[in-house]
A = this chain, B = another copy of it.
Amino acid sequence: MTQALTPGSAIGILGGGQLGRMLALAAARLGLEAHVYCPDPESPAFDVCARATIAPYEDEAALADFAEKVDVVTYEFENVPAHTASILAAHGLVRPGPEALATCQDRLVEKEFLELNGIATAPWARVDDAGALARAVAKIGRRSILKTRRFGYDGKGQVMLREGSDLAVTFRTLGGLPAILEAVVPFEKEVSVVAARGADGTFAPYDVCENVHDNHILKLTRAPARLDAAAAAEAVRMARVIADALDYVGVLAVEMFAVAEGERVRLLVNEIAPRVHNSGHWTLDGALTSQFEQHIRAIAGWPLGATRRHGSTVEMQNLIGDEIHAYHEILREPGACLHIYGKREARPGRKMGHVTRIAYDRDP
């Protein structure tokens, strides 16, 4: 039974980075109060929320108090410790639900989930020890990446295998943690589907978009992706199968590799992000409803908004580290939409903001 929130209700957001900040801003547009929970007192989301809790994710009393004071809890990152999630769930509604978290925060569980639901991935194998790594290499080959099952993001927790590398050493490089080995697939492009599933099961995808990474960090997103219509429809279908199978509520992103197979394109799911996603930032300026508002609508038990795109193409560029210092040139650029996240220090690799550029092929 779906209970819809009323205006004035409180949305609890776990995590105070830029995603939490943009979720809080979206909640405010809809007349909802954002309460942000984050251990870092300098969290950018704290500047835009009605209430802030500064406490470790392990602080059970603070978590319980936070969950009691809000009407629904959501999160900006999938690496919410399972114990944290279960404390929150014991005290109130958590969306997306614990099943989505459990599935997406462990690469092995995620791969098994995808296999079970008939969704193609790159070849992979479970690696619990150095011996298993040797067996995995025998099966998958050396053109592969070893990834820890948990807590990886932006290229952290993974290592590419080399021709002559010692497998025991490689395994220890990642701390000897449970891992999986994934084949490197020669993809044409990386694409993602950002979509929402409502509490009533409705599904609202944005245009499939195409992503360029640099040093494992998203650099550019372009919507719509340059895919043929059949492949784009297949990408959306796969995202829907995933969202339905997880009984998902909220926005999720499914990252895929588009691999050429003769005339057609084959899509392999790389990763599921059970949250708003960097490759959906273009929707803030380039779509009728942003992914952040869409996520808030979904977790509030409200109807989803329209995902219509503005313009013929929309491009989003991340501003990473020092790149933010070009803000004044970007402000001067006709039609560029700039977002700055309010982080105090522009450390290398840190996402400091982004810029959206909408191309039009005609007048309004």
Enumerate chain B residues within 8 angstroms of A328, measured Cβ to Cβ.
4, 302-303
Q: Mark A7-21, 1 if CB is under 8 A from B, else 0.
A: 110000000000001
- Give Cα A289–Cα B336 distance, bound, in whole angstroms: 9
Selected contact of A28 from candidates B32, B47, B335, CB within 8 Å: B47
Question: Which of A31, A289, A310 counts the most chain B CB atoms within 10 A?
Answer: A31
Q: In the complex this chain forms, how many copies of it are found?
A: 2
Enumerate chain B residues within 8 angstroms of A334, measured Cβ to Cβ.
306
Tell me whether A50 and B47 are in contact (CB under 8 A). Answer: yes
* Chain-B contact segment, one of A63-71, A231-239, A338-346: A338-346
Tell me whether B288 and A288 are in contact (CB under 8 A). Answer: no
With an 8 Å Cβ cutoff, the count of chain A residues facing the other chain is 49
Q: Tell whether A110 is near chain B: CB-to-CB under 8 Å.
A: no
Selected contact of A31 from candidates B50, B302, B341, CB within 8 Å: B341
Q: Tell whether A111 is near chain B: CB-to-CB under 8 Å.
A: no
Q: Mark A31-64, 1 if CB is under 8 A from B, else 0.
A: 1111000000000001111100000000000000
Task: Please name the residue on chain B nearest to A327 by beta carbon.
Answer: B7
Which residues on A are within 8 Å of B, measured CB to CB?
A: 4, 7-8, 21, 24-25, 28-34, 46-50, 285, 288-289, 297, 302-303, 305-306, 308-312, 324, 327-328, 331-332, 334-335, 337-342, 344, 353, 358, 360, 364
